[in-house]
Amino acid sequence: MIKQALVFLSDGCEETEAVTTIDLLTRAGINVTTASISNSREVECSRGVTILAKKTLLDIQNIDFKVIILPGGLKGAENFRDCPLLIEKLKQTHQKGGIVAAICASPAMVLQHHNLFPNANMTGYPTTKEAFQNWKDDRVYFDEQNKVITSQGPATSIDFALKIIEVLLGRTKAAEVAQQLVLPSGIETYQ
């Protein structure tokens, strides 16, 4: 059965985190849907790159996904935080046993702000450390009990995507995707 992933996009989101995650999950054979949280499918990211989402939030609000992913970027994370339909979608996904994954500013500004995982161990952009009750210094961290994956920022996007693949499809598939990349030192190599 093909796994379904949803990557939310918002004006101001971090394009490296969004595109890297979309690309690696697609390489792994995961069906990735991108959805803008606004009425427009066109999203202008934090550095001015424009991404055309496949859907809008309203199009997918009644579809279940195995994982929902939030890229970071300060303005993008603020937009996610201030979107009640998105927050409800995260809650529903978690209640149905799905995984929530967030990177950079989104763990603090969305997950912590709304207290979605009060006992979870998480990481995020290092300057947001004070927002967390249970901070982890890891580049990427999977809290298995709470089914939440968090990561620190643009340079950890590959780690983040590989961890999502590992959790959904297993370590062997993550290693297969990692072998297609020329990984910099410090990135988990799945040997």
- Which residues are part of the catalytic machinery? 104
What single string gives the DSSP state of each residue in 137-162? -SSEEEETTTTEEEE-SGGGHHHHHH
DSSP letter string, 41-65: SEEE-TTS-EEE-SEEHHHHTT---
Rounded CA separation 151/133 (Å): 16
- C-alpha distances (whole Å) from 162 to each of 25, 131, 179 are 8, 26, 11
Decide: 150 and 69 in contact? Cβ < 8 Å.
Answer: no
β 148-151/99-103 pair status: parallel
Element holding 6 (H helix, E strand): strand 4-9
SS3 2: coil
